Amino acid sequence: AEHQHSRYNPLRDEWVLVSAHRVKRPWQGQVEKPPAENVPRWDPNNPLCPGATRANGEVNPHYEGTFVFPNDFPALQPDAPEPGDSDHPLFQAAAARGVCKVMCFHPHSDLTLPLMSLPEIRAVIDAWAELEAELGASYPWVQIFENKGAMMGCSNPHPHCQVWASSFLPNEARLEERTQRQHRSQHGVPMLLEYAKEEARRRERLVVENEDWLVVVPYWATWPFQTLLLPRRHILRLQDLCDSERDSLASIMRRLLIKYDNLFQVSFPYSMGWHGAPTGPHLQEDCGHWQLHAHYYPPLLRSATVRKFMVGYEMLAQAQRDLTPEQAAERLRDLPEVHYKQRPQ
C-alpha cells in the first residue's frame, strides 16, 4: 500500500506498475467539465430517440423497450473487398468484414443503466444474448461494448451500446484466447474460474457479489476504479446464461453502477465490454478454457473532474497506477447501494 511494486496480469500476459505513494501528490493537471445533468427525456433532434429521424433518413419506431438497428456509420461491412496480396512481410493486410449494430437500452434519454429497473436491465441482457447468438452463428467474434459519457467518446447521451461482429478475432480476443488456453493446459482449470474462486475467498478486492456473480477490482487493474465482472460457475457465452443467472446479473450490474455513480456523485463514465468464447466456426471447437466476463474501464481518478491519462510511461513502457486495487475496492465496497439521485432529501 505504501511502496511501488509490479503486478502480473495473466489474462493479458503483461505487468502493471503500482505506485501507491503518488496518490498523495498535488494535482495541477487538466480539470474536466462535469457531465450535463439536464438531458431531456425526449428530443426530436436526437437520432436515438423513438420517432426521431437518423442520419440516413430512416425514422425510428416508437419503441418502448430495447431497440436494435444497423449502425449508420459502420466500421465493418459484410461485403468489403480483399486487400490484395502483400509484396513484403512488413507490409501485411488482411480482409476485415463484419456488421455493426446499435442497441438502445431504453426510450428515455435521461436514464442510464443504474437508474433503470431490474426488468429493464434484464431486457438489455436478453437482447445482448440474442444478438450474440444471432451474429455468432456466422461471425467468429461478437463484441458488445458500451461507451458511457462524453469523456469516453460517447457522442450521444441516450442509453445505448454497440455490437460489432467481425470475420476475425481482434487483438484482445486473440490474447485472451492464448493466455486462457495456456492456463488450462498447465493447471487443468479455466483461469478466470479459478481466479473468481480465489477472489471470493480473499475478499480484499471484492466490490459486490451475489449467488451467481462477483465484481472485483482485479489484482492487476490498470485504471483507478477498473472492475471485472465474473460468474461463479463455468460459462462460455452470454447465451448460455439461465433465467436466474440473467436476473442476478441485472441485479449485480445495477449495484455496481450505482456505486460508480455514488463515488463522485456524477453519471460515472466508462467503457465496458463482454468477452466470451469465440463463435462462428469456433462453436464446434473445445472452448472450455474460456470463461465469460465483462471489463469495466472508468477513467476518473480523484473526482468527477480529474481523470487518469494513459500517457508517457504508460504508452512507452507499461501501465502504471497510483491507487492500489485494494484501496479502490474498499472505496467502492463502502459506498451505498441507493443511487444519490434517489435518496431522500
For residue 289, say whether it is annotated as part of any ligand binding site.
no
- Residue 205 pLDDT > 80: yes
Of the residues 158, 160, 183, 289, which is catalytic? 160
> Which has more confidence, 23 or 337?
337
Q: Would you say 321 and 299 are in contact if contact means Cβ atoms under 8 Å apart? A: no
| Mean residue pLDDT across the chain | 94
* pLDDT, average across residues 54-80: 95
Residue 3 lies in a domain: no
For residue 101, say whether it is annotated as part of any ligand binding site.
no
Which residue segment(s) compose the domain that 126 sits in? 36-80+94-342
Residue 335 lies in a domain: yes
**Domains identified in the chain, total number:** 1
Q: pLDDT tens digits, residue range 236-265?
A: 999 999 999 999 999 999 999 999 999 999
For residue 296, say whether it is annotated as part of any ligand binding site.
no
- Residue 28 pLDDT > 80: no
| Identity of the amino acid at 121 | I
Catalytic residue check, 106: no
Residue 108 lies in a domain: yes
Residue 21 lies in a domain: no
Reported residue count of the chain is 345
For residue 33, say whether it is annotated as part of any ligand binding site.
no
Calpha distance 164→162 (Å, rounded): 7
> Which has more confidence, 26 or 125?
125
Percent of the chain whose predicted confidence (pLDDT) is above 70: 97
For residue 293, say whether it is annotated as part of any ligand binding site.
yes
53 DSSP assignment: B
Residue 24 lies in a domain: no
pLDDT score at 153: 84
Calpha distance 162→72 (Å, rounded): 12
Residue 87 lies in a domain: no
For residue 72, say whether it is annotated as part of any ligand binding site.
yes
For residue 24, say whether it is annotated as part of any ligand binding site.
yes
- Residue 23 pLDDT > 70: no
- Residue 68 pLDDT > 70: yes
- CATH classification of the domain holding 192: 3.30.428.10
User: With bands split at pLDDT 50, 70 and 90, how would you rate the model's confidence at 201?
Assistant: very high
Calpha distance 112→339 (Å, rounded): 12
| Identity of the amino acid at 143 | Q
DSSP-assigned beta bridge partners for residue 99: 165
**Cβ neighbours for 230, distance < 8 A, ≥ 6 positions apart:** 192, 195, 196, 199, 213, 214, 215, 216, 291, 293
For residue 320, say whether it is annotated as part of any ligand binding site.
yes
User: With bands split at pLDDT 50, 70 and 90, how would you rate the model's confidence at 25?
Assistant: low
Residue 266 lies in a domain: yes
Residue 199 lies in a domain: yes
Percent of the chain whose predicted confidence (pLDDT) is above 90: 86
pLDDT score at 26: 63
| Identity of the amino acid at 345 | Q
- Residue 67 pLDDT > 70: yes
Q: pLDDT tens digits, residue range 152-175?
A: 888 888 999 999 999 999 999 999
pLDDT score at 185: 98
Calpha distance 328→310 (Å, rounded): 18
> Which has more confidence, 152 or 179?
179
